[in-house]
Chain A
Amino acid sequence: MSDQLSQPAKGAPERTASDMSPTTRQVTAGLARRYAAEKRFRLYGMFAIAASLAFLALLLISIVSKGLPAFTQTYMQLDVPLELETLGIDQQTVDGLLDGSISTQAIRRANFNGAIRQGMRERFPEVEGRSATRALYKLVSSGAEFDLAARVMDDPSVLGNRLTLWLPSDDEIGALVKQRADLSAPDTLVTRLDDQAIAWGAELKDAGDFDVRFNTTFFKNGDSREPELAGIRAALVGSAYTLLITFVLSFPIAVAAAIYLEEFAPKNRWTDLVEVNINNLAAVPSIVFGLLGLAVFINFFHLPRSAPVVGGIVLSLMTLPTIIISSRAALKSVPPSIREAARGLGASDLQVVFHHVLPLAMPGILTGTIIGLAQALGETAPLLMIGMVAFIVDIPQGVTDSATVLPVQVYLWADSPERAFTEKTSAAIMVLLAFLIAMNALAVMLRKRFERRW
């Protein structure tokens, strides 16, 4: 546009200021200033976009670079002697386990930790003294005993023999191995471990007893206080259940409300009032919905605390206005000619809406729904009141089990003293973003399917 305007049209005779009308003179005099203003505005715009892209890039780079190590886990190879005496299992139990007359659950509480400690002592026979051996035991994750227990329960015939297996190592030494730090020069390392522990680590590393693998635990486990055992699964499942409830409740209610208000409701003071209320509701701070949820659903209806069902209901109250407002806008944008044509062919009001208007408005409605659900996915404040900000280890099996959600997990990990949780925090944010992108991709796909042009 500006290029055309800035040059006089070709072929037009040059005019001198004397044969211009006063108006034209005034316009010509101001032209340069107006073009400069436009150019400046374009520059501002480009700067704004560049700045926001830079911030986004900075955020993503910092999260990804911090979070990536969480997707790997350091394992340590150890030869564990499974002596019955150390484990506290008698021969009778072993025989029973082998012929199947005793359930493997019976040895669940055996002293597997003792067996691992014995294995560590045999690996480093020169270590003596109580504090030194305690430091030595700390190289193995305190969750390693559960891995060992699972192995033995799978195959009880190893009882009484030795078993060589890869066990998760502790987060501190694990982090050093993951960073490929030079364990032979302890002075250069930033770590809480003392030189002795680093020397043991170096010995294990030289023997090839450390291995860095993909961290399946992170996707299989619920929360844990040991960073090397902590996983995102419980929060992921919790978020999925919560959003399912939110969607199932808010989508039909909101769409029904929007259709009624837009297509059927008479225009009077009552519907105006309803409209104002809906717009106000969209601006209510989310914590208020949490308080409402606590008072109504938990204290009055006695729904279980900390459960996705209550979380979903509270979040659907929050997303309802968003979906209603965007659905109404989508319905409004369907051209009246569509309605008139349908009526002209004899369709009833209901048929007009459901056969013609709604399908055409669907892409807009879905976009609004996704925005609402994405908001709900990132929400923690209302969940605090209804007890979903909690330490959850067991994976929720249904909408009434105790659960937590992804942003809460991010918050809980960010607040944990163990340093290895820093990387878990960033990794959890990455999972949350992946969830969001997957949701948006689904919406785009659905929109593409429904999209009609007229």
Chain B
Amino acid sequence: MNKTSLLIGTSLASLTLTTPAFARDGISIVGSSTVFPFATVVAERFGRTTDFPTPKIESTGSGGGLKLFCSGIGVDTPDITNASRRIKASELQMCEDNGVTNVVEVLIGYDGIAIANSVEANPLELSRENLFLALAKNVPNPDGEGLVPNPYTTWSQIDANLPEASIEVLGPPPTSGTRDAFVELVMEEGCASFEAIEALEDDAKDAACATMREDGRYVEAGENDNLIVQKLEANPNALGIFGYSFLDQNSDKVHSSMIDGVAADFDTIADGSYPVSRPLYFYVKGQHVGTVPGIAEYLAEFTSEGSIGEDGYLADKGMIPLPADARAEVAAAATELQSVQLN
């Protein structure tokens, strides 16, 4: 129909005819943008210290990564996908339907979600209920029944102990895994304590808990956590929500708020007392081990003490390591390529 597309088609056809089938000699990794800064460190070291090429890592998000990962076996599908949440049963089913039967799960550590403000202001002492009341679109009516659009404009209206400052929170957009985790760990926990919300039907309850306010008090600052840190520096009244590694790297500019009495730092996330943290995983296609060179060695490097251990290089980058016995289990499971069992 269209002469140009015909021409393009012909030239493409000739191109594919002359190119041989591609075998891949390097590992292909996709997945979560939260795990990306950690996985890239391992990949880089792996490339430098072994004879294998440096694995290629794409940042596609957890869901997008699992979709690619589960699309089948063979060299044009990725070997490994990173995830900042556990694989869902539906995703595992999709994997199985496409012939990916040996999915090996590796839990590598934790990432904290920091709720922080500029060092020029005092750290806030918040509870998850406070955060829910400050950020939800609809909140329980303070002087009556049911839900009303969020009326709070200053922190002191929510709790008299909090400062007079106006509510202004910079956080990730809905496409971000950090946002999902924040909703799950803070908003849903925070809203559970209100009777007006407990009384709702399941769907309405989920929506009430997970919908952030849209009147400009919660600002979606994009996926770039550096930008949030810069804005916090400029505005000491604002609060920001971002990954712990950014808090760690900018500890001279921002500090963590106390959530339920605990500030985010290395130790509180590691021992589980800081409530807003999530596990980081990666999933390996067992069937590719032996076909694509280097996967077993990459697994060994990633699960070594030098990497995910207490003093490993990933801890230096801000990842919170697992307890020692859990690390040993992870390393053993990775070596044996056990398929993941969801319970």
Using a CB–CB distance below 8 Å, which chain A residues touch chain B? 105, 108-109, 134, 138, 142, 146, 190-192, 222-226, 249, 253, 256-257, 260, 273-274, 277-278, 297-299, 301-306, 309, 313, 317, 320, 324, 387, 389-394, 400, 402, 412, 414-419, 422
Q: List 15 A-B contacts (CB under 8 A).
A: A105-B51, A109-B49, A190-B252, A192-B250, A192-B252, A253-B7, A302-B16, A302-B22, A303-B22, A306-B58, A320-B4, A391-B36, A402-B26, A417-B37, A417-B243
* Residue B251 at the chain A interface, CB threshold 8 Å: yes
Minimal beta-carbon separation of A27 from chain B (angstroms): 54
Q: Which residues of A contact B51 (CB under 8 A)?
A: 105
* Residue B24 at the chain A interface, CB threshold 8 Å: yes
In the complex, the chain B residue whose C-beta lies closest to that of A138 is B316
Per the bound structure, the CA–CA distance linking A416 and B317 in Å amounts to 11
Contact A304 B4 (CB under 8 A): no
Contact B49 A108 (CB under 8 A): yes
Contact B224 A414 (CB under 8 A): yes
In the complex, the chain B residue whose C-beta lies closest to that of A256 is B7
Please tell me which one of the listed residues A225, A253, A302, A320 contacts residue B37 in the complex, with CB atoms under 8 A apart. A225
Across the A-B interface, give the 10 residue pairs with the lowest CB-CB distance, nearest first: A393-B54, A391-B57, A402-B56, A390-B58, A417-B249, A391-B40, A225-B41, A304-B22, A301-B16, A417-B245
Minimal beta-carbon separation of B231 from chain A (angstroms): 15
In the complex, the chain B residue whose C-beta lies closest to that of A402 is B56
Minimal beta-carbon separation of B127 from chain A (angstroms): 28
In the complex, the chain B residue whose C-beta lies closest to that of A411 is B224
1/0 contact trace for B1-26 toward A, CB 8 Å? 11110011001100110010110101
Q: A249-B11, A257-B3 are in contact. Are A393 and B58 (CB under 8 A)?
A: no
Contact B53 A253 (CB under 8 A): no
Q: A142-B313, A224-B44 are in contact. Are A415 and B224 (CB under 8 A)?
A: yes
Contact B8 A317 (CB under 8 A): yes
Contact A419 B249 (CB under 8 A): yes
Per the bound structure, the CA–CA distance linking A416 and B56 in Å amounts to 17
Per the bound structure, the CA–CA distance linking A317 and B59 in Å amounts to 25
Per the bound structure, the CA–CA distance linking A191 and B251 in Å amounts to 9
Minimal beta-carbon separation of A409 from chain B (angstroms): 13
Q: A402-B56, A417-B245 are in contact. Are A274 and B4 (CB under 8 A)?
A: yes
Please tell me which one of the listed residues B1, B2, B44 contacts residue A225 in the complex, with CB atoms under 8 A apart. B44
Per the bound structure, the CA–CA distance linking A387 and B59 in Å amounts to 9
Contact A394 B58 (CB under 8 A): no
Q: Which residues of A contact B11 (CB under 8 A)?
A: 249, 253
Minimal beta-carbon separation of A132 from chain B (angstroms): 14
